[in-house]
Amino acid sequence: MSVRAPSRPSAVAAADTLELGRFKRARRAYGFDEVALVPGRITINPEEVDSSFELGPLRLAVPILAAAMDGVVDVRFAIEMGGLGGMAVINLDGLQTRYLDPTGVLREIAEAPRDRINGLLQKVYQAPVREHLIGERIAAVKQARVPVAVSTVPAQANRRSGLVQEAGADCLVVQGTVLTARHISRSYDQLSFEKLCAGLSIPVIAGNCVEYETAVELMRTGIDGILVGVGPGAACTTRGVLGVGVPQVTATSDVAAARETYLRESGRRVQVVTDGGMRVAGDIAKAFASGADAVMIGSIFAGTTDAAGGGYHWGMATPDPNLPRGTRIKVGQRGTLREVVLGPARVDDGTQNLVGALRSAMGVCGARTLQEFQLTELVIAPAIQNEGKLFQQAQQVGMGT
């Protein structure tokens, strides 16, 4: 089933924008807390819906990727995530490839006082990436016969692509704060996604992107998936440091519209992956209803007992030596990865049994597949989080936590 794309966001009528001043107008954009799903005219048994995700030759029973965060993914976590039906992404520019055994460094990050953490992060990430560890980490996960993806900065993508494919990685993620198909620089060569994709037999996901026209151009390069999200992560401060970002519901919808435009144009579907900003299962459901084909999650998984960070989480741009864009946050450890992904839930706040909640939302909205779920009606509902929840808020339980 295909979704009819709305008018191009860049061509939105003036009546749909607000005047910020005589010189500038702006579109209204929406985040997860401002919208709600409308139940369908039919309902379906959640056990009979299909929530699987396909990416090239990959088929994942769980449409969730674990973000390439050092506080989340190590080899052990990647094996567990793959065994549950999803896929984890190992950060090739992170601690797992800089240190033979990063356990001590991870412990040092967790134990550092607040006034020393930024300096410590910058210090530990100065260690060079050891190329041989890239293949070793991938091989260690593949020995468990589960899928694994790896993430690299654009500048290293060409050099690493052959190595990760040969080592057995199932997907290459090329990730930056913002990626475009047309990057201008006089000091280094622009990465050609066309050449990169042509030289690989594994799927390529690129991101991050939040804008319709940019997404269409990226899709035309041959990528298989696109990450949506600039700055919504729990540990990310990009929106504060750079002032850049678009709320995730609007960003996902705009990039999904680009997917439909490119699908009609080429006959090829590029998968949209909403990356970041989801705190509870309801946010995940809203991401899919906004147009996502899969989601990428960091902070929720950082709070599992299986995560590498020991209850702490920090963003990929946090150790930037020139302009850190993130901070370390304490997320605690509230359950196992299995409980968070597949349940059963032991808490009532929507942070466990994410797949069960997604399937229940699909059933309530009458969607048999994720593509049907993308057709779900959304309403603007800024009071949806607190309507009728006075006692929960007062007692700090359920939706009041």
Q: Which amino acid type is present at position 234?
A: A
Query: What CA–CA distance (Å, rounded) separates 151 from 205?
Result: 9
Tokens 């593949």 sit on residue: 142
Largest alpha-carbon pair distance within the chain?
Answer: 61
The angle that helices 212-219 and 248-266 make with each other, rounded to 10 degrees, is 40
Is 236 a catalytic site residue? yes
Which of 99, 106, 134 lies closest to 121, judged by CA?
106
To which residue do tokens 């995940």 refer? 284
Q: Which structure tokens are listed for 222?
A: 């041959």
Number of H helices, E strands in the chain: 16, 16
The residue from 197, 209, 236, 365 that is catalytic is 236
Show the tokens assigned to 248.
Answer: 């995730």
Gap between the Cα atoms of 355 and 398, Å rounded: 19
Verify cis geometry, omega within 30 degrees of 0, for the bond prior to 63: no
Pairing of strands 17-19, 25-27: antiparallel
The answer to whether residues 274 and 363 touch, using CB atoms and an 8 Å cutoff, is no
Q: What are 262's two structure tokens?
A: 């490119």
**Residue in the structure block whose two tokens are 């992170």:** 94
Contact of 96 with 72, CB cutoff 8 Å: no
**DSSP code for 312:** E
Question: Which helix (H) or strand (E) is 372 found in, with range?
Answer: helix 370-373
Q: What is the three-class DSSP state of 249?
A: helix
Distance CA 72, CA 319 (A): 16
The DSSP bridge pattern shows strands 35-37 and 378-380 to be antiparallel
Which residues are designated catalytic? 236
